[in-house]
Amino acid sequence: MSRKPTKGYFVRGKFVAEGSELDLELKAELKGTWDSTKTDLKREMDALQDLGKELLTLRRNLLERLQLPEKLVDALHEATRITNFEGKRRQMQFIGKLMRKLDEQQIAAVKDALNEQRNGASIGKQQTQIAELWRDRLIDSDDNLGIWLDQFPATDTQQIRALMRQVRKDDATAKAKAAEAEAQGQIPAPAKKGRAYRELFQLVRFHITGGEADESEGEPEDDDA
């Protein structure tokens, strides 16, 4: 049986088989997409569509600062209103198409804004954790107050001492009530933190963040008042 000849063509005296790696590269070069295969282009398009999806989560002030094309901004707003799955999918494809019209500087600006938002949230969480640690240390011992004042001398000493005393008083009252309930064979109600506990946390966090508003997730429970 004769072997079927391989289909192909010659380039500069060299045979190129159809479907070979060299064949794909040459065809890509002819189409003006040198060093970019269809897979590469699909990957780039998907990445831009994913970037557009992330833009839906960007804070308004950061989005406005980007000064993106009005058509893209309108498409993003429309995407937030669509609840139908198929409609949402088509809208995201449209956003991906608009994202491909942005230049490299605009794409870089979008990525920077998203990073700024992510890093800001991370820093805020760390500040909250530090504030919670300091709050507990101050409640635990007066000795820690001197260390705190060395680091944050602008603290109102009278105010922070009063809050520390009130938190300890509230804790003692809660423990006494729990002990009384146990003595009577009752299950003690879960203790709630008082107002002083919350205000001490807010005061500590205020100084740690340099006066930024408290947007933390570690907010103490409300008091009974």
Q: What is the pLDDT of residues 31-67, one digit of tens each?
A: 555 455 566 667 777 888 888 888 988 888 888 888 8
Supply the range of the domain harboring residue 176: 125-208
Q: Is the pTM of this model over 0.75?
A: no
pLDDT for the residue 133: 94
Q: What is the pLDDT of residues 65-113, one digit of tens each?
A: 888 999 999 999 999 888 888 998 899 989 988 988 888 888 888 988 8
For the chain, the domain total comes to: 2
Residue 93 and residue 163 in one domain: no
87, 113, 139: which is the final residue of a domain? Answer: 113
Residue 130 and residue 107 in one domain: no
Which 3-state string (H, E, C) describes the chain? CCCCCCCEEEECCEEEECCCHHHHHHHHHHCCCCCCCHHHHHHHHHHHHHHHHHHCCCCHHHHHHHCCCHHHHHHHHHHHHCCCHHHHHHHHHHHHHHHCCCCHHHHHHHHHHHHHHHHHHHHHHHHHHHHHHHHHHHHHCCHHHHHHHHHCCCCCHHHHHHHHHHHHHHHHHHHHHHHHHHHCCCCCCCCCCCHHHHHHHHHHHHHHCCCCCCCCCCCCCCCCC
Whether 121 shows a pLDDT value over 80: the answer reads: no
